[in-house]
């Protein structure tokens, strides 16, 4: 490889991924060209710094590697395959999951652990509790594939775990249980010595719990003791509410929305990873007056198809949470059902509903959220919404911060998100893109909204609004480097009283409207509040209907009224890019349904980065000239 020695490469020029090694360090690379992946690709992003020799340890992210590399005659972006997670602090496997083996083998942390196994071919009478040093475990219980004596009953295996210890419960892959766990009242010893639930075995799907009533796993119950439950990890389990599935023999019509997973007791240092909830809700909701859930991370998990016939139903509901991260999760088709009675779409049901009782010290990033009843993500607590992919939602993303406090307490950011498709709520017209109604400062930048589905109502791509619990002179907004195309409705609408705005800066955006105004204010623009700079515009409308304040205007009249120095004639590198063209670039069936079906296969044991939000978003951003995530 010439200047990159001592790098070694495996893979060929016609592969979409290459594996590289530098000594003991392993990496993966991915590159795009105008058609997707392939040889002679152009980089997603590049750095000019040379490769350090020797490489630092830990290796920074990213590191550039000069080409050519096996037919890729370009500079390729090299991403480290492991390291420590920026929120949990735990080591990661090469494909980005928590590395339980590395955690377990850390000096002293798990040396006094009790290891318990559970399998659907186990036996409660002959099961064995293992200690960390037992020979049967080979120094790594997470790599055990056989030769152990597991329990059969979930509650019996759970009862072997000790409160205050870093014990481990491992559940055999491919197992199917109809029994549930007891109330979870166990905490690990510390933030780095957590009690762990995970899957084990050489093959098979995640262990599955078939539920017909009640909660599969919950920190609530009993007489309210203990008051806190924390320092735990739940991972590698699938809950399946069979009696809510119209296609299952146990289906019972008319059911509500009791959660499958319920984090309800106050506590700190909680990780939910590789958790699947099918036909049931994921609930993170500390009861009012009982404290708060703090330092909780939900990552690479999924909630699909939850609905209710007699109450509200979400995919994920969060309340009274302080310090939180929701990362690389998948939410699809929650809040409604086409078959069950009284389960039609409603404005109250969402894929993710983060209540304002939580704080704004949190982030939703790199999630895929699709086909929600109403919102793909309703984030009422402020915080950050970053690099998420929204597909066919009635309202894609909404962020606000309406908690009690002064203006300086409120902050929100929407960055690098991608919205595509859109839908209505039954007979209620929607088709909304990204919306902010914050009382304080909001930074919206590098977001992309494209290609609304045919027949969906013609509402906005972007909306800035201060009508939700406004504060006089409180709201300030930076709206920079965003883009939209092919979205029936206004490209940008700004509503609410001037008295409630401090400053609104609209800068360096690429706004192409379809069927409506490029920018709609519906009031005279106060140039002491609103600034429009360096934007590019285009529209399929007549030139005198591109803008609206006190009436329709062309660009020249709008510029005279607002001081806007924007230009017309906007075009994009490739405005045909969609989920369908992305699937074509992978050689897959070119439909949204096929893409979502692939997403439904994602677990620790089957992870494919081609079906992750950041990979798809990069493909789309390249076509519409939105900058890459730094």
Residue-wise pLDDT for 245-281, tens only, equals: 999 999 999 888 878 999 988 999 999 999 999 999 9
Q: What is the pLDDT of residue 8?
A: 38
Inform me whether the pLDDT recorded for 196 exceeds 70.
yes
Q: Which two tokens stand for residue 490?
A: 């206004």
- Nearest-CA neighbor of 329 among 293, 284, 291? 284
SS3 580: helix
Q: What is the pLDDT of residue 74?
A: 29
Residue owning tokens 């590191």: 63
Consecutive H or E run containing 275? strand 267-278
Write phi, then psi, for 557 (nearest 5 degrees). Answer: -70, -40
Least confident of 49-53, 95-99, 190-194, 201-205: 49-53
Distance CA 547, CA 461 (A): 15
Q: What is the pLDDT of residue 470?
A: 58
Residue owning tokens 């609206």: 548
Average pLDDT value for residue range 192-202: 95
Q: What is the pLDDT of residue 234?
A: 97
Q: Which two tokens stand for residue 452?
A: 């609304």
pLDDT tens-digit series, residues 364-390: 999 999 999 999 999 988 899 999 999
Consecutive H or E run containing 547? strand 547-548
Consecutive H or E run containing 538? strand 536-539
Inform me whether the pLDDT recorded for 11 exceeds 80.
no
Average pLDDT value for residue range 119-148: 94
Distance CA 279, CA 195 (A): 27
Report, in angstroms and rounded to the nearest whole number, the Rg of the chain calculated over CA atoms: 25
Strand positions, DSSP E, 355-482? 362-365, 368-370, 375-379, 383-386, 389-391, 395-399, 411-415, 418-421, 432-436, 441-445, 448-452, 462-465, 475-480
Q: What is the pLDDT of residue 478?
A: 96
Count other C-beta atoms under 10 Å from residue 596's C-beta. 20
With beta carbons less than 8 A apart as the criterion, state whether 201 and 162 touch. Answer: no
Distance CA 111, CA 117 (A): 17
**Residue 407 C-alpha from the chain's centroid:** 28
Distance CA 554, CA 236 (A): 57
The upper half-sphere exposure of residue 443, i.e. CA atoms within 13 Å in the direction of its Cβ, equals 8
Q: What is the pLDDT of residue 473?
A: 57
Residue 624's pLDDT band (cuts 50, 70, 90): very high
Count other C-beta atoms under 10 Å from residue 426's C-beta. 13
Distance CA 366, CA 327 (A): 6
**Residue 400 C-alpha from the chain's centroid:** 18
**Residue 12 C-alpha from the chain's centroid:** 32
DSSP code of residue 289: T
Average pLDDT value for residue range 587-593: 98
**Residue 136 C-alpha from the chain's centroid:** 38
Distance CA 154, CA 171 (A): 9
The upper half-sphere exposure of residue 77, i.e. CA atoms within 13 Å in the direction of its Cβ, equals 17
Q: What is the pLDDT of residue 438?
A: 76
Three-class secondary structure assignment of 400-416: CECCCCCHHHCEEEEEC
Q: Which residues pair with 462 in a beta bridge?
A: 434, 492
Residue 336's pLDDT band (cuts 50, 70, 90): very high
User: Is this prediction's pTM over 0.85?
Assistant: yes
Q: What is the pLDDT of residue 471?
A: 60
Inform me whether the pLDDT recorded for 238 exceeds 90.
yes
The upper half-sphere exposure of residue 19, i.e. CA atoms within 13 Å in the direction of its Cβ, equals 9
Distance CA 118, CA 127 (A): 9
Q: Which sequence spans correspond to the domains of the chain?
A: 2-81, 82-297, 579-623
With beta carbons less than 8 A apart as the criterion, state whether 447 and 388 touch. Answer: no
Residue owning tokens 């105004």: 517
Inform me whether the pLDDT recorded for 27 exceeds 90.
no
Distance CA 220, CA 223 (A): 9
pLDDT tens-digit series, residues 106-133: 867 899 999 999 999 999 999 999 999 8
- Nearest-CA neighbor of 154 among 203, 207, 200? 207
Number of H helices, E strands in the chain: 6, 48
Distance CA 275, CA 328 (A): 12
Q: Give the number of residues written for the chain.
A: 630
Q: Choose between 233 and 25: higher pLDDT.
A: 233
Q: What percent of the chain has pLDDT over 90?
A: 67
Average pLDDT value for residue range 387-400: 95
Strand positions, DSSP E, 60-120? 63-65, 76-80, 83-84, 91-92, 114-118
Distance CA 199, CA 402 (A): 40
pLDDT tens-digit series, residues 435-446: 998 778 899 999
Average pLDDT value for residue range 347-352: 93
Q: What is the pLDDT of residue 220?
A: 73
Q: Choose between 63 and 235: higher pLDDT.
A: 235
pLDDT tens-digit series, residues 282-314: 899 887 567 889 999 999 999 999 999 888 999
Distance CA 302, CA 197 (A): 17
With beta carbons less than 8 A apart as the criterion, state whether 227 and 290 touch. Answer: yes
**Start-to-end Cα distance in the chain:** 27
Q: Choose between 78 and 501: higher pLDDT.
A: 501
Distance CA 155, CA 322 (A): 30
**Residue 7 C-alpha from the chain's centroid:** 33
Consecutive H or E run containing 330? strand 330-332
Average pLDDT value for residue range 326-355: 93
Inform me whether the pLDDT recorded for 568 exceeds 80.
yes
Residue 602's pLDDT band (cuts 50, 70, 90): very high
Mean predicted lDDT score pLDDT of the chain: 85
Determine the Cα angle at 303 with ends 300 and 309, to 5°.
170
Q: Name, in order, each residue with C-beta under 8 angstroms of 467's C-beta and a sequence gap of 6 or more.
A: 437, 495, 496
Q: What is the pLDDT of residue 80?
A: 38
Distance CA 216, CA 209 (A): 7
């Amino acid at each position: 490889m010439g200047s990159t020695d001592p790098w070694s490469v495996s893979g060929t020029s016609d592969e979409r991924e290459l594996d590289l090694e530098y000594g003991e360090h392993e990496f993966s690379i991915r590159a795009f060209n105008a058609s997707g992946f392939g040889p002679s690709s152009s980089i997603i992003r590049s750095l000019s710094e040379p490769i350090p020799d020797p490489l630092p340890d830990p290796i920074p992210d990213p590191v550039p590697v000069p080409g050519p590399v096996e037919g890729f005659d370009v500079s390729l972006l090299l991403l480290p395959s492991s390291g420590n997670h920026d929120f949990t602090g735990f080591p990661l496997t090469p494909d980005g999951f928590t590395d339980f083996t590395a955690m377990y083998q850390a000096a002293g942390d798990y040396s006094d652990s009790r290891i318990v196994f559970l399998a659907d071919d186990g036996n409660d009478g002959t099961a064995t509790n293992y200690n960390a040093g037992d020979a049967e475990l080979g120094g790594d219980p997470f790599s055990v594939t056989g030769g152990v004596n597991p329990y059969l009953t979930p509650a019996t295996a759970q009862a072997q775990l000790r409160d205050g210890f870093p014990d481990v419960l491992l559940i055999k892959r491919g197992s199917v249980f109809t029994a549930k766990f007891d109330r979870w009242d166990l905490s690990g010893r510390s933030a780095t010595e957590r009690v762990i639930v995970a899957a084990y075995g050489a093959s098979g799907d995640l262990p599955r719990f078939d539920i017909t009533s009640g909660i599969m796993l919950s920190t609530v119950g009993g007489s309210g003791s203990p008051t806190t439950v924390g320092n735990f990890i739940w991972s590698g389990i699938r809950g399946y509410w069979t009696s809510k599935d119209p296609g299952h023999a146990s289906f019972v019509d008319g059911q509500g929305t009791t959660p499958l997973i319920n984090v309800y007791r106050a506590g700190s240092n909680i990780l939910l990873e590789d958790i699947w909830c099918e036909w049931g809700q994921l609930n993170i909701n500390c009861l009012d007056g009982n404290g708060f859930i703090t330092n909780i991370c939900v990552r690479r998990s999924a909630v699909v198809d939850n609905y209710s016939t007699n109450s509200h139903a979400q995919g994920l509901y969060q309340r009274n949470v302080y310090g939180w991260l929701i990362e690389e999760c998948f939410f699809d088709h929650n809040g409604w059902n086409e078959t069950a009675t009284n389960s039609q779409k409603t404005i109250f049901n969402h894929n993710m509903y983060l209540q304002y009782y939580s704080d704004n010290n949190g982030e939703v990033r790199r999630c895929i959220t699709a086909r929600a009843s109403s919102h793909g993500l309703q984030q009422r607590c402020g915080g950050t919404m970053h690099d998420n992919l929204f597909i066919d939602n009635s309202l894609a993303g909404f962020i606000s911060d309406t908690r009690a406090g002064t203006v300086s307490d409120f902050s929100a950011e929407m960055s690098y998100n991608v919205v595509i498709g859109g839908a209505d709520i039954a007979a209620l017209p929607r088709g909304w893109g990204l919306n902010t109604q914050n009382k304080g400062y909001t930074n919206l930048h590098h977001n992309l909204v494209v290609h609304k589905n045919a027949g969906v109502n013609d509402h906005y791509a972007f909306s800035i609004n201060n009508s939700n619990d406004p504060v006089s002179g409180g709201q300030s907004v930076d709206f920079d480097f965003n883009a939209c195309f092919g979205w029936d409705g206004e490209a940008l609408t700004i509503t609410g009283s001037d008295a409630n705005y401090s400053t609104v800066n609209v800068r360096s955006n690429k706004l192409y409207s379809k069927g409506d105004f490029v920018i709609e204010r519906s009031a005279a623009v106060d140039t002491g509040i609103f600034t429009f700079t360096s934007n590019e515009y285009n529209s399929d409308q007549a030139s005198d209907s591109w803008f609206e304040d006190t009436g329709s205007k062309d660009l020249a009249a709008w510029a005279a009224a607002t001081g806007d120095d924007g230009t017309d004639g906007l075009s994009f590198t490739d405005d045909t890019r969609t989920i369908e063209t992305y699937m074509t670039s992978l050689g897959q069936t070119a439909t949204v349904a096929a893409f979502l079906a692939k997403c439904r296969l994602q677990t620790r044991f089957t992870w494919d980065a081609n079906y992750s939000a950041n990979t798809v978003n990069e493909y789309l951003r390249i076509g519409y000239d939105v900058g890459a995530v730094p």
